[in-house]
């Protein structure tokens, strides 16, 4: 079982500082998110983590039955392996291997939900000067996103955001049976 490289506090602080400044400038500039094209070698490396534990829920990651758009009647595997951008592309994150991590589908979706809950709707603020509160929210989210991967046991991981993440995972669990039933109804119509 491979372990994600845990970074020193100094390394994490440099990453947080770099990405916070970069993401704020990126959003204020109005630039659009980078394409999702991930190098094949990086995808292969991510896929090699099938059977490893997800870095944010400790469930074993399994292969995804489908890549790309799901056919009618199918849902992604709950713990199917995905490529997670530690700093999301919508915030200026890139496709370099250092910004990618293997993560189960559920945790990937829940992290996105936390970003959407904590940060303002990105399209409405893209290209405008961010006020101090929004900059603080960006900094907080980016630090949480980085720390939960590189120093998950640090007391500096934002406990409130981690609580929101756990709550989102529980809500996802309660929604899943309804989602499965809906997918089955859609498949029956095809």
pLDDT band at 3 (very low <50, low <70, confident <90, very high): very low
CA distances 151 to 60, 111, 129, 131, Å, are: 20, 16, 31, 29
161-188 pLDDT tens trace: 999 999 999 998 887 767 667 766 666 7
Residues 28, 25: Cα–Cα separation, whole Å: 5
Q: Is the pTM of this model over 0.85?
A: yes
Tally the residues of the chain.
190
Residues 171, 188: Cα–Cα separation, whole Å: 26
- One DSSP character per residue, 76-129 reads --TTBEEEEESS-GGGT---SGGGEEEEEHHHHHHHHHHHHHHS--HHHHTTSP
pLDDT band at 74 (very low <50, low <70, confident <90, very high): low
95-114 pLDDT tens trace: 999 999 999 999 999 999 99
pLDDT band at 91 (very low <50, low <70, confident <90, very high): very high
**60 has pLDDT over 80:** yes
- One DSSP character per residue, 153-165 reads T-TTS-HHHHHHH
Whole-number pLDDT of residue 55: 94
């Amino acid at each position: 079982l491979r372990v994600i490289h845990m970074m020193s506090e100094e390394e994490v602080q440099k990453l947080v500082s770099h990405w916070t400044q970069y993401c704020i400038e990126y959003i204020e500039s109005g630039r659009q998110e980078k394409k999702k094209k991930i190098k094949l070698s990086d995808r292969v490396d991510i896929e090699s983590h099938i059977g490893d534990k997800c870095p944010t829920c400790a469930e074993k990651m399994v292969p995804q039955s489908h890549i790309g758009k799901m056919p009618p009647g199918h849902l992604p595997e709950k713990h199917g392996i995905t490529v997670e951008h530690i700093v999301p592309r919508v915030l200026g994150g890139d496709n370099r291997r250092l910004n990618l991590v293997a993560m189960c589908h559920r945790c990937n979706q829940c992290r996105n939900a936390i970003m959407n809950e904590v940060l303002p709707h990105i399209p409405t603020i893209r290209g405008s000067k961010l006020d101090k509160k929004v900059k603080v929210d960006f900094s907080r989210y980016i630090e949480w996103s980085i720390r939960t991967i590189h120093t998950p046991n640090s007391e500096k991981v934002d406990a409130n955001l981690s609580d929101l993440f756990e709550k989102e995972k529980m809500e996802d669990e309660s929604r899943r049976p309804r989602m499965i039933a809906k997918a089955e109804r859609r498949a029956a119509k095809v």
